[in-house]
Structure 1
Amino acid sequence: MLILGFSSGLPLALTTGTLQAWATVSNVSLQDIGFLTLIGSAYTLKFLWSPLVDRYALPVLGRRRSWIFMTQILLAMAIASMGLFSPSGSLATLAMLAVVVAFLSATQDIAFDAYSTDVLRKHELAAGAAVKVLGYRIAMVVSGGLALIIADQWLGWGGTYFLMGAFMVVCACATLLAPEPEVVARTPRTLGLAVVEPLAEFFKRRGAITILLLIVLYKLGDAFAGALSTTFLLRGVGFSVSEVGTVNKVFGLVATIIGALLGGSLMARMGLYRSLMMFGIFQAVSNFAYWVLAVTPPHLYSMAAAVAIENLCGGLGTAAFVALLMALCNQEFSATQFALLSALSAVGRTYLAGPLTPPLVEHLGWPTFFMATVAISVPGLLLLWWRRAEIKSLETMRS
């Protein structure tokens, strides 16, 4: 879970925050940087091809690991190819390669999410979700904070992307060693059934529509706050690329580890609903840290505190959210159902936070914008409280 979580998280920053930093220092316009967030559309649309992952598999490594391994090798090549271009001279080409990386990454996520849902025993869900998120967020630090330092001081941007491609090859080796699930669910007999049955089974459940809306809204405020966070630290506050990278690497990594381990421990004791509510509140309130950073003189200590708080609270919220998604999945259709649910969670980040954040920042200014992101978090928490009975029933089913 740790290594495959790392593999799942590595490509995302390379097509979002790190690419955003590269474009920022290459003097790409704020509006163009905002539209680069649309590269993540594959994460939102991945449910469209997830039935293929449920229905088909390569003849080796099993139904889930075969897809994971294939996408990891292709990702290694695609990420390395991004290092051959530059935002200042070849923004369109670089963006197209980033779209390919996002598509392959989304496909890897489909298979990995299904694999983790299948391979974890029921009593391992909370710890499994926490470790999975830990690997994911360590990868975000490596491909985000550490990548900025490497690009700024050692290898340059092109060399950094080559290095990240090499990391994917290492992760592919871990896939070869990963165990198969103890209980292998049946494969849908036809592609048509692989499309229809997961949706039919899910929408027969009580409150299915509002659960889907909850998934869209739960991390929406967090998505808005993070949409241009790298640009905010570089251009809005005035820190250097190396300063942002160092703080993200050190404080981001420590807070990520604490958040994931604490999240798994608290979820096992508190249960899913209480964890979702408490961590969701922490996640929303943590956006005030960026507001403080926006209204005070720039200092490394204040940036370190803001990054640590965001990673800690964001890690807690994500761990509980991943546990919710796994609990909602039927093992027979885990690839399609998890893909649909996680794709919905990306709707806010891709189609709302990305395009809307630049005009909101230009109209409101950074301090008021970060205050607004706290308010954006409230509807998701209210909906979670309204659907608490359905969430609690999942805990009973899983126990």
Structure 2
Amino acid sequence: MNSRLRVITALYVTQFLGYGFITIGLVSILRAGGTSLDTLALLSLIGLIWPVKFLWAPILDRYGPRRGGHYRGWLLVLQSGMVLALLALLATDPASGRIGPIAAICAAFIFFSATQDIAADAVAVRLLGDAERGTGNGIQVAASYLGNILGGGACVVAYDQFGWPVAVGLLAGLTAIGLLVVWRFREPERIDRPAATRHAYAALLTVLTQPGCRRWALGVVPLLYAGAGATYALVSPALVDAGWSLTRIGAVTGLVTSGPAVLAGLAAGGLVNRIGRAGVLATGGVALAAATLLLVPVLAGRGGLGLAGPVLCCFMAAYAVANVALYTVNMDYSRPGTGGTDFTVLASIGLICSYAASAVGLAAAARVGYPAVAVAATALILGGVALGVRHQRRHRPDSGGPNRPPVSAPTVVKQPA
């Protein structure tokens, strides 16, 4: 189990290093250099590559090298692409004001990292049995926040102290660690024969035909992600309206809140086997709803840092716990032969709902105010929790629901030169 988790940890942590740097750290660096908010908003659209990655997920399930591991071959290419994209940033200068080359390179990196996520999810589906999925998905959730800390925080400090080349070099070096782990990883042989391309794409829909999956993916997931997404979208604008500086907002929302989320994600992963998926979902969901209500004074411009900091920490920690439960059930519904496609489809539904709810929440806030939207979001979250707990009572793995053992235990070996 330790070897499996080492591989999964390396894949997810290195994946989110660059993502955290681009979405948090680079935004701060460019803003400090005088880049307009409108330009930064356009740069943020690069992140939309992630919700639509399901469009090419079947390709990774269908095609792959016959020797050395089906998904390992993809990971070697994609992890290398991530490192090369980051190294390409060395040829740019954020102080020059020329954002075009930086945006193009960042888009390439986001594409590589999103596609690497498909392969990493497929590997996790194959390697982790029912008893290990909670821990594996706890690592995945924690890794996303750890990426914010290292990529969005440590690399920004390196830039401030030593300059652009050192910051980018540090980022590329850390990402290259994942490439080394993949190189030493021996993937279990794929026994099943990859389906034809048309059948691989059919998995985009057939994943929803499994018992209870449609109710989960089109009911539980949208409610929870819509509630959380709508709430979080309000935070930065509300803090701006309250007179906070951009630096202060970035430090609190991107760095301070990530630490508790990392710990909460890891803890939730360990709790899945003890209290079950429903128990973790209820714990995280109820705490998320409570934190959303506690945010109402903050969104109304009251309380200051003394209230906003702790409440946002609670919100992100609870969101991490709920995400562990959501990802674990998504993995339960991911079939070994189409694991990349299945998990990506289910995860993308949540991302799309979160993006849509963010836009709707901001538009609604302009008409009814931030607090009213937060109260409505709380109702969505509690509705998702209730539906999710009911779903797990009928479809949990030990009641005949989705439950697939790992293919076989992998080994990490040193490859011959």
TM-score range, shorter chain: 0.7 to 0.9
CA contact (8 A) 1:134 1:256 kept: yes
2:17 to 10, 13, 16: 10
Partner Cα distance (1:228, 1:150) in 2:
30
Q: Does 1:143 align with 2:147?
A: no
Which residue is equivalent to 2:340?
Answer: 335
Pairwise CA distance, 1:24: 4.4
Pairwise CA distance, 1:331: 1.0
Q: How many residues align?
A: 393
Which residue is equivalent to 1:325?
Answer: 330
Partner Cα distance (1:277, 1:11) in 2:
32
Q: Which moved more, 1:276-285 or 1:224-233?
A: 224-233
Partner Cα distance (2:18, 2:236) in 1:
16
**Match runs of 1:43-122 below 5 Å:** 43-58=50-65, 61-82=68-89, 84-86=92-94, 89-122=97-130
For residues 310-333 of structure 1, the C-alpha deviation after alignment (integer angstroms, 9 at most, x for no partner) is 332122112111111111111111
For residues 91-113 of structure 1, the C-alpha deviation after alignment (integer angstroms, 9 at most, x for no partner) is 44433333222211110000000
Partner Cα distance (1:270, 1:37) in 2:
38
1:177 to 180, 184, 188: 184
Pairwise CA distance, 1:308: 2.6
**Match runs of 1:151-300 below 5 Å:** 151=159, 153-156=160-163, 159-181=166-188, 184-196=190-202, 198-199=203-204, 201-213=206-218, 214-227=220-233, 237-239=243-245, 241=247, 244-245=250-251, 249=255, 252-253=258-259, 255-288=260-293, 290-294=295-299, 295-296=301-302, 298-299=304-305
Q: Does 1:315 align with 2:320?
A: yes
Partner Cα distance (2:42, 2:289) in 1:
25
Partner Cα distance (2:363, 2:44) in 1:
14
Partner Cα distance (1:364, 1:20) in 2:
30
Which residue is equivalent to 1:384?
Answer: 388
Q: Which moved more, 1:99-108 or 1:216-225?
A: 216-225
Which residue is equivalent to 1:129?
Answer: 137
CA contact (8 A) 1:291 1:367 kept: yes
Partner Cα distance (2:239, 2:151) in 1:
17
Unaligned runs of 5+ in 1: none
CA contact (8 A) 1:55 1:189 kept: yes
For residues 105-152 of structure 1, the C-alpha deviation after alignment (integer angstroms, 9 at most, x for no partner) is 11000000010110112321112222232233212221223344444x
Identity of aligned residues (%): 20
CA contact (8 A) 1:145 1:247 kept: no
CA contact (8 A) 2:83 2:172 kept: yes
Letter in 2 for 1:169: A
Partner Cα distance (2:10, 2:197) in 1:
31
Unaligned runs of 5+ in 2: 1-7, 405-417
User: Normalized against structure 1, the TM-score is what?
Assistant: 0.83
Pairwise CA distance, 1:340: 1.2
Question: In 2 relative to 1, CA 191–240 (structure 1 residues): closer, same or farther, beyond 3 Å?
Answer: closer
Question: In 2 relative to 1, CA 241–199 (structure 1 residues): closer, same or farther, beyond 3 Å?
Answer: closer
Instruction: Report the structure number with the largest CA radius of gyration.
Output: 2
Pairwise CA distance, 1:207: 4.2
**Match runs of 1:31-42 below 5 Å:** 33-42=40-49
